[in-house]
Amino acid sequence: MADSIYTKRNPGQGGETHQTASGDDQPPLTTQQGVVVADDQNTLRVGDRGPALLEDFHFREKIFHFDHERIPERVVHARGYGVHGRFTLAKSLAKYTTARVLSDVGAETPMFVRFSTVAGNKGSSDLARDVRGFAAKFYTPEGNWDIVGNNIPVFFIQDAIKFPDLIHAAKPAPDREFPQAQTAHDNFWDFISLTPESMHMVMWTMSDRAIPRSFRFMEGFGVHSFRLINAKGESTFVKFHFKPRLGLQSVMWNEAVKINGADPDFHRRDLWDAIEAGAPPEWDFGVQLFDEAFAEQFEFDILDPTKIIPEEQVPVEIIGSFVLDGLVDNFFAETEQVAFCTQNVVPGIGFSNDPLLQGRNFSYLDTQLKRLGSPNFTHIPINAPRCPIHNHQQDGHMAMRNPRGRVNYEPNSWDAGPREDPKTGYRHFAAAEGGPKVQLRPESFADHYSQARQFFVSQTPIEQKHIGDALVFELSKCQRPEIRERMVAHLLNIHPDLAQTVAAGLGLPRLPKAHDPAIAPLTDLPPSDALSIAKNGPQRFEGRKLGILVSDGADAAIVDALIAAVGAEKGVYEIIAPHITGATLSDGALRVAHQKVDGGPSVLYDAVAIVLSEAGAALLARDKTAKDFVSDAFAHCKFIAYTDPAKALFEKAGIAPEDMDEGFIPLAEKGDAKTFLKACAPLRVWDRELKVDLDAAAPPPA
């Protein structure tokens, strides 16, 4: 706009209807056909109060486009957030694969990654307890390669034929259309309790993995066993891993519920802000490589998508890294229209016979036609490969390119058009297959409890408690008691302590009989540290956020020292004050607030500092939201730094002096700020939870 002056327009002979900005440095508004629009405020009509005219082509085009601007949202993974990035290979896998993206050391490959929840609709909240999609599209010089992964390495079902049933059970009930983005209801747990193969995945989804702190602190997995194929046609099995350089971090369930109320866009805002601030997240890209000999002797079937291969048995070999530093220009054009397909592989990467993967290969392509309306969805820029495209496919809805010239078939004798290339073209692995046509589940898929137990025993005591709490919460929402008992019967095959905890939390009068397993579970699988979030946390404040609650007259030197200490740790901070204008500190200078106290609850921060004057503490001690700020931080086991006057607020919030454990760090001088930030490295003061949670001491059933 050339200036800020607004002028009034009088369309035709009518009165003033609107204001429009003046200035001639912006392009004129046009129709989709490029015709400049003279009036975008009024439809063409007969007289000033007469009927509208059909010949108003601009109105018709504008309304037509508006009426059709929504496409069907994804049935699953509807709520997503995408960003651009780039992958750099550090170690060649040329011994195992011809894929250049995994062979050309130092080469940078553009990427697009979409994070998502599974069960909720597009308008649901970010912090639902759910699996998170972690889908990556690599725009390689040999074509697009998609890893359509999750933040959990296993899945609920073993065969894709059960996927519609799983999702129908998890989604809102068809008669009432609720609950949204939740599995805490009868339909889901009825299905799960009748599907023993889901038990391993249940352990993951009831763990803190299902409520991550942010996308930036989240692992990614390709889930299935794939194949790498080398120049000799030899195959090596591979599982893909994305490991965040910031480490793993989650939130507590009560905290997640409150974050959803305070900021339902918490995860997407966090990612946007990190990239905008010049601190884009990075992941190490790793592979687990194993051969047929290992597959034969491994305790479980490597084709079973409900199983992992523990990293202690096959270490993850880091071969590169990727950074996500590119925000989208338009959410719909990129994040909403991006189409991931598990079948999208490049020469040198192939599939195993994992039955869930085989089904996904069929389903995803079919899904894109429904959502994007045309087999030409690869013509959309976000889906278009960044290498030459030559084929004889033509026409169809919204075709952006078609063959030129006379020839649109192959073979032909015109010596024209693209031909197949046996030397560089994709070759499937020549696996020897045989056997009768059958519909059955192999016996090697029949152990449903051993790895579920291994996951549980790999957790720290507080993580085990959280799994029990989650199961109690979810099952307590089931109205039918037999569903609860059925699940406890399964839990007895996983771990008796977990079964007793859940039974006690649900108030069952007695433990049910354990469910009869198809195969007796193994009880001697060793714990795996890689399965615990607490054992793989960041151990530093980098990438995390400190909330500093201040009042007028608060110690300016302490506040400035906290800000400096956060910066030194590569974290971020926000000032919270009684008023959004901020607070005038002890040096007489105004510190502008990022949040007003009732708009910046402590659930939005990884740790908090309470820096108050005596008058400020007395003022905030009368405010319910200020008391909630500190009581929630305490209940959520966060580290709390404080100046001495803040004790008055603590007392009013119900925190007695004897409750102030090692997670309370006094701020008496500037140097204490660094001490506080170093103390925050373990993420939370987990011992505190055992003192404030009623369920921590629930008696077992008889």
Q: Encode pLDDT of 125-148 as tens digits.
A: 999 999 999 999 999 999 999 999
- Distance CA(203)–CA(451), nearest Å, equals 10
Which sign does the torsion angle of CA 448, 451, 454, 456 carry? negative
What pLDDT sits at residue 23?
57
Q: Are 508 and 500 in contact (CB under 8 A)?
A: no
| C-alpha pair distances (Å), 615 with each of 60, 300, 553, 621, 648 | 63, 65, 8, 10, 10
| C-alpha pair distances (Å), 163 with each of 160, 206, 298, 358 | 5, 20, 27, 12
Q: Are 64 and 34 in contact (CB under 8 A)?
A: no
What pLDDT sits at residue 3?
35
What pLDDT sits at residue 193?
97
Determine if the pTM surpasses 0.85.
Answer: yes
Q: Are 221 and 179 in contact (CB under 8 A)?
A: no
- Domain final residue pick, 505, 534, 563: 534
Looking at residue 497, which CATH number applies to its domain? 1.20.1370.20
- Distance CA(528)–CA(310), nearest Å, equals 7
Same domain as 469, residue 325: no
Looking at residue 687, which CATH number applies to its domain? 3.40.50.880
Q: Tell me which residue of 120, 200, 188 sits closest to 155, measured CA to CA.
A: 200
On whether residue 700 sits in a domain, the answer given is no
- The type of residue at 328 is V
* Residue 243, beta-bridge partner list: 284
- Strand blocks (E) in 278-398: 282-290, 317-326, 349-351
On whether residue 192 sits in a domain, the answer given is yes
Please report which confidence band the pLDDT of residue 391 belongs to, taking 50, 70 and 90 as the band edges: confident
Please report which confidence band the pLDDT of residue 437 belongs to, taking 50, 70 and 90 as the band edges: confident
Average pLDDT over residues 642-647: 98
Q: Are 621 and 648 in contact (CB under 8 A)?
A: yes
Q: Are 350 and 235 in contact (CB under 8 A)?
A: yes
What pLDDT sits at residue 696?
60
Two tokens, residue 437 = 């046509």
- Distance CA(471)–CA(486), nearest Å, equals 13
**CB atoms < 10 A from the CB of 613, how many?**
20
Q: What residue numbers bound the domain in which 348 lies?
A: 80-379
On whether residue 421 sits in a domain, the answer given is no
Average pLDDT over residues 323-332: 98
On whether residue 255 sits in a domain, the answer given is yes
Q: Which residue has the tokens 């921060």?
A: 605
| C-alpha pair distances (Å), 685 with each of 54, 165, 641, 660, 675 | 68, 40, 13, 11, 16
586 phi and psi, to 5 degrees? -65, -20
Active-site entry in 77, 267, 495, 636: 77
Our answer to whether residue 344 is catalytic in this structure is: no
On whether residue 441 sits in a domain, the answer given is no
- Domain final residue pick, 379, 398, 430: 379
- Distance CA(276)–CA(325), nearest Å, equals 9
On whether residue 57 sits in a domain, the answer given is yes
Same domain as 186, residue 85: yes
Q: Are 154 and 305 in contact (CB under 8 A)?
A: yes
Please report which confidence band the pLDDT of residue 1 belongs to, taking 50, 70 and 90 as the band edges: very low
Same domain as 326, residue 249: yes
Active-site entry in 150, 260, 344, 493: 150
Maximum alpha-carbon separation in the chain: 92
Same domain as 98, residue 245: yes
Q: Tell me which residue of 90, 100, 84, 77 sits closest to 137, measured CA to CA.
A: 84
Per-residue pLDDT reduced to its tens digit, 72-125: 999 999 999 999 999 999 999 999 999 999 999 999 999 999 999 999 999 999
- Distance CA(145)–CA(101), nearest Å, equals 9
Two tokens, residue 337 = 């229209």
Same domain as 266, residue 117: yes
- Distance CA(673)–CA(679), nearest Å, equals 10
Task: Evaluate if residue 57 carries a pLDDT over 90.
Answer: no
Give percent of the chain above pLDDT 90.
78
Cis peptide leading into residue 601 (ω within 30°): no
Same domain as 326, residue 348: yes
- Domain final residue pick, 43, 69, 95: 69
What pLDDT sits at residue 20?
52
What pLDDT sits at residue 415?
85
Q: Are 602 and 629 in contact (CB under 8 A)?
A: yes
Close Cβ partners of 50 (under 8 Å, ≥ 6 residues apart): none
Helix (H, G, I), strand (E, B) or coil at 368: helix
Our answer to whether residue 77 is catalytic in this structure is: yes
Q: Tell me which residue of 622, 464, 530 sits closest to 243, measured CA to CA.
A: 530
Q: Are 667 and 616 in contact (CB under 8 A)?
A: no
- The type of residue at 520 is A
Q: How many structural domains comprise the chain?
A: 4
Q: Tell me which residue of 617, 490, 462 sits closest to 549, measured CA to CA.
A: 617
What's the full length of the chain, in residues? Answer: 702
Same domain as 41, residue 136: no
660-685 core/surface letters (b: 16 or more CB in 10 A; e: else): beebbbebeebebbeebbebbeebbb
**Residue predicted with more confidence, 613 or 14:** 613
| C-alpha pair distances (Å), 279 with each of 270, 368, 400, 543 | 11, 33, 37, 8
Mean pLDDT over the full length of the chain: 92
Same domain as 46, residue 97: no
Same domain as 602, residue 481: no
Same domain as 169, residue 261: yes
- Distance CA(289)–CA(525), nearest Å, equals 21
DSSP code for 668: S
What pLDDT sits at residue 694?
67
Which sign does the torsion angle of CA 361, 367, 373, 379 carry? negative
On whether residue 405 sits in a domain, the answer given is no
What pLDDT sits at residue 10?
45
Residue 342, Cβ density class (10 Å: 0-12 exposed, 13-18 middle, ≥19 buried): buried
DSSP code for 217: G
Q: Tell me which residue of 574, 555, 307 sits closest to 447, measured CA to CA.
A: 307
Q: Tell me which residue of 697, 572, 696, 693 sits closest to 255, measured CA to CA.
A: 693
- Distance CA(74)–CA(303), nearest Å, equals 27
**Residue predicted with more confidence, 31 or 510:** 510
Task: Evaluate if residue 16 carries a pLDDT over 80.
Answer: no
Looking at residue 263, which CATH number applies to its domain? 2.40.180.10
Lowest mean pLDDT across 298-312, 379-393, 640-654: 379-393
- Distance CA(252)–CA(463), nearest Å, equals 10
Same domain as 204, residue 63: no
DSSP code for 250: B
Task: Evaluate if residue 416 carries a pLDDT over 90.
Answer: no
Same domain as 295, residue 149: yes
Task: Evaluate if residue 469 carries a pLDDT over 80.
Answer: yes
Q: Which residue has the tokens 């601190």?
A: 279
Task: Evaluate if residue 682 carries a pLDDT over 50.
Answer: yes
Q: Are 203 and 192 in contact (CB under 8 A)?
A: no
- The type of residue at 684 is R
Task: Evaluate if residue 414 carries a pLDDT over 50.
Answer: yes
- Distance CA(467)–CA(456), nearest Å, equals 8
On whether residue 642 sits in a domain, the answer given is yes
Side-chain-facing half-sphere of 53: CA atoms under 13 Å: 12
Task: Evaluate if residue 2 carries a pLDDT over 50.
Answer: no
68-82 core/surface letters (b: 16 or more CB in 10 A; e: else): eeeeeebbbbbbbbb
- Distance CA(171)–CA(156), nearest Å, equals 15
